[in-house]
Amino acid sequence: MKKDNISDAVIRRLPRYYRQLTDLQNRGIIRISSHSLGQEMGITASQIRQDFSCFGEFGQQGYGYNVEELKAEIGHILGVDNDHHIILVGVGNLGHALLKNFAFAQNGFTVGAAFDISPAIIGTQINGIPVYSMNELDAYVRQHHVDVVVLTVPQSVAQSTADQLIASGIQGFWNFTNIELASSRPDVKFENIHFADSLLTLSYRISNH
């Protein structure tokens, strides 16, 4: 029942629903109306019903949503239950922080390995994840099915590293380099974390209130 051409705005709300439902579940809430869910999230009930209608029928008119079931449905749409295989390329401060702190498994991702050029960390493990030399990257990607690369390399090598990985068959990039990466291949997806965009949004809000 999934519609085609679901808008970017709807897709970006799905993880927010998932997070909110996880929070409701942790608070022991069994059932919630679209009205209450909207109030918690600062969006309207009709927006929620419209968003969900892109993916089929969730819940029953007048009875609200079962929190656990809805979370499972949205998690399934997001691919949380797919067990994606991810590797991290560039173990600097940020790469290190992500390997140490980010709950990859909770979001359906298994981190297989990390790669760097620094002899000081090649051969070590971070949070149980082995760090290999960049020289081993191509071979690793060819031997393992890798869905996504976390790209935390320096800006100067961001695009060339992405090109190398795309040539090896990688189609998903979680890009922390603050460089707009490009590929002529439409099947390659880039998802960017732009720290500066976020801080400048806050700057606007505190400068203009």
Beta-carbon contacts of 8 under 8 Å, excluding residues fewer than 6 positions away, are none
Q: Is 106 in the site for a copy of itself (CB under 8 A)?
A: yes
Question: Least distance from C-beta 63 to a copy of itself, angstroms?
Answer: 26
Nearer to a copy of itself by Cβ, of 107 and 164: the residue is: 107
Q: Is 203 in the site for a copy of itself (CB under 8 A)?
A: yes
State which of positions 131-170 bind a copy of itself (CB under 8 A). Answer: 147-148
| Phi and psi at residue 186, to the nearest 5° | -70, -20
Number of H helices, E strands in the chain: 8, 9
Beta-carbon contacts of 87 under 8 Å, excluding residues fewer than 6 positions away, are 111, 112, 113, 114, 115, 140, 141, 146, 148, 149, 150
Span interacting with a copy of itself, options 62-70, 79-87, 130-138, 158-166, rule CB under 8 A: 79-87
Nearer to a copy of itself by Cβ, of 137 and 149: the residue is: 149
Burial 56-94 (b: 16+ CB within 10 A, else e): eebbeeeebbbbeebbebbbebbebeeebebbbbbbeeb
Question: Least distance from C-beta 62 to a copy of itself, angstroms?
Answer: 28
List beta partners, residue 65. Answer: 32
Q: Is 5 in the site for a copy of itself (CB under 8 A)?
A: no
Q: Is 200 in the site for a copy of itself (CB under 8 A)?
A: yes
Nearer to a copy of itself by Cβ, of 23 and 136: the residue is: 23
Q: Is 83 in the site for a copy of itself (CB under 8 A)?
A: no
Q: Is 23 in the site for a copy of itself (CB under 8 A)?
A: yes
Interaction site with a copy of itself (CB under 8 A): 2, 9, 11-12, 14-16, 18-19, 23, 77-80, 82, 84, 92-94, 96-98, 100-104, 106-109, 147-148, 171-174, 180, 187, 189, 191-209
